[in-house]
Amino acid sequence: MSNRTIASVLIFTLSSGAAVADVLQIPASQLDNLGVEFSIPKETSLADDFQAPARVRVPPTNDFAVVPILSGTIKKLGVSAGDKVRKGEPIAWVGSPEFLKLQAEYIDAFHLLKLSKSRFLHDETLNEEGIVSARRLSESTHEMEDQRVAEQRLRHSLILAGLEETEINALRDSLLLQPEMILRAPIDGIVLEEYRTAGQQIDPSQAVYRISDLSLLWLEIDVPFIKSIDIIPGATVRIEHGPLDVIAKVSNIGRHVDENNQTVIVRAVIESNSGLAPGQFVKATLTKNRSDNYFLLPTSSVIRKGDRNYVFIQNSEGVETREIEVLRQAQGQIIIGAGIVANEKVVTRGTAALKARWLGIGGGE
């Protein structure tokens, strides 16, 4: 049998009626010509528990900035950093000519809406009596709808500026302008930061306070990439904090690897009243959830067929395919959880040529 024929032979090894491996009979000299190189994967073993630095932060959904929608001058601040606030509580007062103008525009819009409603009702009656045309009634209808939209837009702007519905109704009825714009707490929470002082000019791009709900906190843990493969959602994290052990549960394992220190961010949720503070740095102890050994390989070693991953393993006849379990992939490396054993030689270069031959001979989809 010629070398060309030998290189084209594909043997199927069967067990219980299912294909376990595909063997490509290729002499060593032809493997060299194909640019095939082999390496023994590095085996990695992980400790059961390990510590990693972590920082406490507020989830974005629980973190709010108190920002005015109009420019003005801060007349008074009602709370300071560390104070508890209730949702809707007035916490700052701002003198704003723009706010006065907005109230006046609302009053005008409200009265124009009343006038357009009156005109519509008058034209509707006349139309029913055959005195005015349908076109005239249509024009009255559109005018009333436009005025309603204008009134609603200005009403919502006043709500954003800090007025409550009852105060807007009072403005509408009394025609007395509120002298100052009121900033209110957006949630029940704690004032974490106070950015401004009384007398300062402020515009809509400048926050006055940062207010957060601390009933739920995140722990962001810098975990070495190689150790992150042992962590699964729901894993327990312990933080030593004074006389108490604070418990958190892993909720997310990052996919981005920091190029400088080769770590990923693992997020854990602290649901109890822990006494931890946003911005605090702590040491977290993580418990691994798997007990296997792992192997590191360059990503160039792995080939895909359908939704499965394979590598080529050296054997006495050439190479054979082996399905593997890929746990993580980043920075040009993969971590394998199952599929190979220690000291097996894996193809790390020339996989494209071998894949073409494998699929072309009979391993196609």
pLDDT at residue 17, rounded to an integer? 34
Q: Which two tokens stand for residue 254?
A: 């990052």
CA 352 to chain centre: 36
The alpha carbon dihedral of 56, 59, 60, 63 has a sign of: negative
Number of independent structural domains in the chain: 3
**Does one domain contain both 53 and 98?**
no
Domain end among 227, 258, 287: 287
pLDDT at residue 39, rounded to an integer? 87
Domain end among 239, 268, 287: 287
**Does one domain contain both 253 and 317?**
no
If DSSP codes are grouped into helix, strand and coil, which group holds residue 317? coil
**Does one domain contain both 81 and 206?**
yes
- Domain of residue 351 covers 3-44+293-363
**Does one domain contain both 104 and 140?**
yes
**Does one domain contain both 93 and 224?**
no
Q: Which two tokens stand for residue 65?
A: 């900035």
CA 44 to chain centre: 31
**Does one domain contain both 269 and 298?**
no
CATH of the domain at 241: 2.40.30.170
Domain end among 211, 229, 263: 211
**Does one domain contain both 190 and 76?**
yes
SS3 per residue for 318-344: EEEEEEEEEEEEECCEEEEEECCCCCC
**Does one domain contain both 33 and 80?**
no
Amino acid at 20: V
Report the alpha-carbon distance of residue 77 to residue 183 in Å, rounded. Answer: 9
pLDDT at residue 61, rounded to an integer? 94
Following DSSP, what letter does each residue of 136-189 receive, concatenated?
HHHHHHHHHHHHHHHHHHHHHHHHHTT--HHHHHHHHHH-PPPSSEEEE-SSSE
β-pairing verdict for 333-338 and 318-330? antiparallel
**Does one domain contain both 164 and 55?**
no
CATH of the domain at 357: 2.40.420.20
pLDDT at residue 294, rounded to an integer? 76
**Does one domain contain both 149 and 270?**
no
**Does one domain contain both 171 and 94?**
yes
The tens place of each residue's pLDDT in the chain, 365 residues long, gives 444 443 434 443 333 333 456 888 888 888 888 888 888 888 765 556 788 999 999 999 999 999 999 999 999 999 999 999 999 999 999 999 999 999 999 999 999 999 999 998 988 888 888 888 888 888 899 999 999 999 999 999 999 998 999 999 999 999 999 999 999 999 999 999 999 999 999 999 899 999 999 999 999 999 988 788 778 788 889 887 766 778 899 999 888 888 888 899 999 999 767 788 899 999 998 876 555 667 888 888 888 888 888 889 988 888 888 888 887 766 677 778 777 888 888 988 888 888 888 887 544 44
Q: Which two tokens stand for residue 154?
A: 């200005």
| Distance linking the first and last C-alpha atoms of the chain | 29
pLDDT at residue 16, rounded to an integer? 32
Residues in Cβ contact with 187 at an 8 Å cutoff, skipping those fewer than 6 apart: 62, 64, 87, 211, 213
**Does one domain contain both 140 and 232?**
no
